[in-house]
Every structure is written in C-alpha cells, then in structure tokens.
Structure 1
Amino acid sequence: MSVRARLHATLPALMSSPQAGPPELAGLPGRRTLVQRSDEEIAAQPLDDAFAALPAAEVRFPAPWPRDRGTWEVAPDTSLAVFAGVHAVRAVEPSGATRWEVRHGCWHGACREMHASYEEYAEDRGHRYPDGGSVGFSADGALVWAHVRGPLPEGELSPDTVDEWLVIDAVSGRVLARGNAEAAAAGSEHLPHPTDPRRMGLGIGEGQDGAPLRLGSWDGERLDVTYVEGDLCLMSVSPSGERLMTVSHDQDALSVRDFRGLLLEGLEWDAESVLPRHPDAPSADEDDEDEALACWDWAGGFVDETTLVVSTVECDDEWGEVRHWLLDTTGTHGLRQIAYPSPPSGQPTALGNGAWATASESGDALHVWVADSR
C-alpha cells in the first residue's frame, strides 16, 4: 500500500557558493526559517505558514570560523546566531558583533589547552578533524542550550566529567546551569520541546561506541538531566512535545517514547519484521553474497502527532530507488510507502505541520510535501 506525495512548495537555496552547505528548514511551525551556511556566513530567510519568503526579511550573520569547525543555530526570531566551535560557543549578531562567548575545553581529543581564539589552532593539522558538540535555542529563544567539551575556564564540574551540558541566557551569555552529559561525543544535536521552553532533548553520537540520549529540564534554578537507558538516536519531537521518535544505534528498531524516554506500549517497529524487501534486492532463497538487510535511517520524524515520515535510504541505495514511508502510529494505516512524482533524493525531514521536506537532486532547493488525500 502506498500514499501519494503532493508538492506543496519549493524553496530555492539562499547561496550558490560551492563552499555552502545544503539549505535547511529550521524552527517550529509558525516560525519557520530557511537557513544555509557557508564558510563565511549564515543566511536566514523567515517564511510564512505557506513556506513563502517574508519580504525584506533575510538576515546574514558573519561566521567566526569555517563551517567544518563546528555547528550552529539561528534564534527563532533570527536576531542572533550561535556557533558551537572547537573551543567556544559564540553568539553573533547580524552586524558581526559578538554578543557573548563561552569558552570551554578543546574538542580535539589530544589537546588539553584552553584556547582563547580560533587563530591559535586554525593551521594546526591535528585540529583539522575535531569532535564536536552543538547548541539549541529554547522554543521562545530565551535560552541557549550547549553541549560542550569540559572544562569551562572557571574549572571542572567534577573530575570524571568529559562533556558538559550548559543552559545559557541568550541575551547576556551568563551560564545559568551546568550538568554532566555523561558522554564523550563525536557529535550531537539539540531538539527543543515545542511548547515548554524549559525542556530540551540532546542526542549524542559517540561513533561506534554508542548514542546516549539526554533529556533536560530547567526550572529557573536547577538543571535536571534524564539519562535515557540504551543507545538511542533522537530524531524528532512531536508537535505537542509529549512524544519522541528514536532509532536504535544499530538501526534495527524505530520507536516512539514519552519525554521521559520511556517506550510507549506497542510503538516500536523492528526493521526486519515490518519493512518489505526492496523490489530489486535478491530474494531470501537466492544464493547471493550480498544479503539484503533491512534498517531504518537515522532520519525522519513527526509529520503530525501520530504520523511519522521515515526512510530506508541506507539499505535501499545498493539495490536501486530509495524509499520513504509514512508510518501511522495509531495502527489505522500502518506503514505506507510514499509515491513521489519522481524518485526522491536523500532522506526526509519532518516539519510537524502535516508536511515533510526533501532535498532536490542537485541540492540547490528544498521540496515541501504533503500527503495527497484525493
């Protein structure tokens, strides 16, 4: 059974530079922004509810270091960009002025220096491929959550702490709270609770070693961290904020959980059990050296409160056309393959308002899709 995808909007990239990364959709429904990063700057274009560009609203933020030296996030109101670098988290205004900076330990594993600037290690070969953290704005933009390598200049959180999780005032840059992430990350990503600015999800990647999931709550004085059991990649938060979509580190299980990280009854799907074999893959009884393994991508999320968009690009790519799916968590429709007007490119991004996005084949645009109910 399949469901047809109807093209809702096409968003051209904001930059044509070969150094620029792909365009992305950031923010929550009602405050969407098309963003793109090059080595020199971030471009941010606010969008209306129909994904049309708001006139004369594009903002550019000069970048303090190249895009392969960290991650970044733009505030919901596009007034500020925060860069998570190798040695510091820096907030930059559209003018290029630094609003604030929080220095931390170096993300290059062999380095124990507390760098004062990017220029100190810019040409050092050992710092060319560092690990890294991430930042995320709360839903109201008042807080910046930052996953950093410790320690901070004021000292260690504890002797056994490697990575720290910070809550920062977005206006002043004051560190309001510090917590032990209990991880040694290669990378990470923040996903905010869409209705409660005090809560945040943090998915951490440790390469082959695992994928710790952390859920944070800030009450104005104290940071409480939930250390979710298992190795789970956090993919999405539902529009209500009460559900999480996760994919296991080995990609065999997709699940829906509450915001405490607890599995919701009946909402876990084993890839081998539910995914149909790719039509061009060898049949199970064929004597073929290449086994057609089923796996979920580390991608997708909530199209609405009860529907997920997911994909199997990684295991499909070897056999031919890649597949995207809509998964109805109520059980009414089950798992349905998405039928596009032409084969999709890459993995889908859930938008939470009944839509999802895919990149154009050339990477110069984003396509926004909805399920065709006709």
Structure 2
Amino acid sequence: MLEARLVATAPAPLDPVRADPPVVTGSLLIQRGDTELAAADLAGRWPPRQFPAPWPRLFGTVAVSPAGDLAVFAGVHALRAVDAGGGLRWELRHGCWSAAACDLAHVSFAEYAGDTGHVYAGRGSVAFSPDGRRLWAHVRSGAHDEQWLVVDPADGTVLARAATGTAGSASAPVPHPDPAFMGLTVDEEPPSLWGHVDGGELRVRRFDAGVLLAATPSGAHLLATDAGQGTLTLHRAADGLPVGRLRADAAVPALPGEDQVCWDVEAAAPWDDAAVAGTEDFTGPVRHWLVALPAMTVRGRIDYPFPVAGPARPATPGRWWTLAPDGAAVHVWTLDRGPDV
C-alpha cells in the first residue's frame, strides 16, 4: 500500500448536527448552516469569519471568494453576494428552480419559505475562478431555460452568458487553473459542459462525460467518469478528446459479497501524472487508489493512518482532502512520491 501523509486537520467550524459537512475548495474550508456560512483559510492568510445566510441551506448552494471577502449564495430565485461584514454587495435575480414552474418574481425568501415546490426545488451552482475575478453561475432564466453566466463579483454585472441546453435539478462546477475556463456537470448525466470566456463571449463545448471530477494542476487534462461510474476517463482540456480510460471492474477487486465495482462521483487530480480516485464501497472501509496519468493504470491502494470517510476530493496541487467519519473535521493529505509512485 501507499502511505498517505497527513498535512493538516481542520475542525468543522459549525456543529455538524445543525450544518452541512465542511468542504474544502482549494485552500478554503467552508461550512453551511441554516443561518450562517463559516469560512476559514487553511493557509492562514486571513482569520476565520462568518457570513449571514439569506435563506436556509436546503434552498441552494454557495461559493466563497479566494480572498475570503465575499460569499455568493445561489438560491431558488436569485444570486446574492454578501461581504465579510455581513452587508449585501449585490443581488442578481433569475428564474425559479421550482419544478412547479413558478412565474412569480419573489422579492423575499419569506414569500415562498413554506411552499413545498420551493422547498424541494432544484438548484444551480456558483464557483469563483482561482484568481477571484470571475464568478461562474448556473441559473434559470425567466423562461425556465438554463443558462451559464460569467459575473463580475465586484458588482454583479453579467460579463457573458450562454444557454446550457440542459434540464437539470442540480449542478456541480469544476474549476480550472486558467480563470478563463470552467467545467460544469448537470445532474451527473452527459454531456458535461466546458466553458471558455473570451471578452464578452462565453463559448461552451459539450463532451460525452457524465461527471467531471477534476482538472490536473497544469490544466492540460480533465478527469471524468460516466453516469454509471464504471469507467474513469482522461480528456484533453484543449478539445475534450478522451486520451485514456480505466474500467473499475478490470482494475480494482470487488469486496467480498459484492458483484461489481464503481468509481466514486468525486475524485482528485493532485498531480499532472497521478490522480486519487475512490471506489464506492458501502459495506466496507474507504478504498482510495493512486491512478497513473495518462497511462490510466492503478499504482496501488492508499493507506491512511486512521479512518476517513467519503471520496478523495481536490485541494491544492499535490494534495487532496477527506472527511472525518463523524463529519466533525477535514483531513488534508499528500504522498511522499518516489520514482515508482
């Protein structure tokens, strides 16, 4: 086995009983509660802080700027930007994510807080570019079609937009080292979207990948899996061309009593020549594997010094993170890689 080396452990800033599990985005630790969002910089560049939440956590997603000075909440009816002092920076209203096809321009959360169609509405997503100068947002228009926006986070100005051609209930962005690019998975179904903003134009390429997982540190490749999670695929970022595949059932042994092996729907690509991908093992311990890129071969199973939970997820280059089994902390890891690792 390959021995994972612990880089850092960070406790969850909010009580896991009343908040979502903490997550790491780059070097940021964020955790969403119903009334607040807690954020901390694992690199120690700024002190921990909290942002007041405009609506409970069931009603959308959120992103925090790399500098920690702005949180953008993506809700059922609007994007709302809140600064580090708790003040409203800007709001950008959009069509409703409710499956009930709500056509009302709700001004406040109180107007739809108890409506079942809104409680169980779909959701878009938001993500900052690595330099913090762009915000990418997946929203619905007033006509209920879905759009991808590139927004100036300073004032909420829409810099570019494009139709996604999707009809989803959830989405997940995949950042790229180049701030002009972003990936987007909608409902874990193909096609995945790859966006490139150039001036006021957003060009979107579609390629046949169910779930985008991560970009390599150089940005040259994208790791993905299919909707059935049977195959890992490495794509060239420049044109989306698949350059390597790895079937789970051919590379990883099934657990006793199990008849198939599936990849997790999250993974990390900490190095240009290696990824850390897990298999969905509901009845046994977490199993994470080091996958050589672009050869797409398993180099070995990763061993942790204590129990961890869930998939391997991207952190900063050379590192990935996992969740503690009780959800009360995150652990950041690396490998001391020799010539054969």
TM-score, with structure 2 as normaliser: 0.93
Q: Which amino acid aligns with 1:355?
A: R
1:71-110 superposed matches below 5 A: 71-110=61-100
The answer to whether residue 19 in structure 2 is matched with residue 42 in structure 1 is no
Residue 41 of structure 1 deviates from its aligned partner by 1.1
- Counterpart in 2 of 1:192? 175
- Counterpart in 2 of 1:177? 160
Q: Kindly indicate which of the two structures has a greater share of residues assigned to strand.
A: 2
- Counterpart in 1 of 2:212? 234
Aligned mates of 1:140, 1:356 — CA distance in 2: 20
Aligned mates of 2:125, 2:269 — CA distance in 1: 22
TM-score, with structure 1 as normaliser: 0.85
Matched residues, number? 337
Residue 351 of structure 1 deviates from its aligned partner by 2.1
Aligned mates of 1:121, 1:216 — CA distance in 2: 33
Residue 331 of structure 1 deviates from its aligned partner by 4.2
Residue 132 of structure 1 deviates from its aligned partner by 0.6
CA RMSD in angstroms, aligned pairs only:
1.9
Residue 117 of structure 1 deviates from its aligned partner by 2.1
Residue 321 of structure 1 deviates from its aligned partner by 2.2
The answer to whether residue 184 in structure 2 is matched with residue 202 in structure 1 is yes
Aligned mates of 2:5, 2:113 — CA distance in 1: 46
- C-alpha deviations, 1:35-61, integer Å up to 9, x for none? 11111111111122xxxx45x611211
Q: Which amino acid aligns with 2:250?
A: S
- C-alpha deviations, 1:172-196, integer Å up to 9, x for none? 11112221111011111112221x2
Aligned mates of 2:307, 2:201 — CA distance in 1: 49
- C-alpha deviations, 1:312-344, integer Å up to 9, x for none? 1x2x223x2231111112549733111122343
- Counterpart in 2 of 1:286? none
Higher mean Cα deviation, 171-180 or 9-18? Answer: 9-18
The answer to whether residue 235 in structure 2 is matched with residue 268 in structure 1 is no
The answer to whether residue 137 in structure 2 is matched with residue 146 in structure 1 is yes
Structure with max Cα Rg = 1
CA contact (8 A) 1:238 1:352 kept: no
Residue 62 of structure 1 deviates from its aligned partner by 0.6
Gaps of 5+ in 2: none
CA contact (8 A) 2:246 2:297 kept: no
The answer to whether residue 335 in structure 2 is matched with residue 368 in structure 1 is no
Gaps of 5+ in 1: 283-290
CA contact (8 A) 2:245 2:296 kept: no
CA contact (8 A) 2:6 2:331 kept: yes
- Counterpart in 1 of 2:195? 216
Q: 1:3/1:17 Cα in 2 relative to 1: closer, same or farther (>3 Å)?
A: closer
Q: 1:15/1:261 Cα in 2 relative to 1: closer, same or farther (>3 Å)?
A: farther
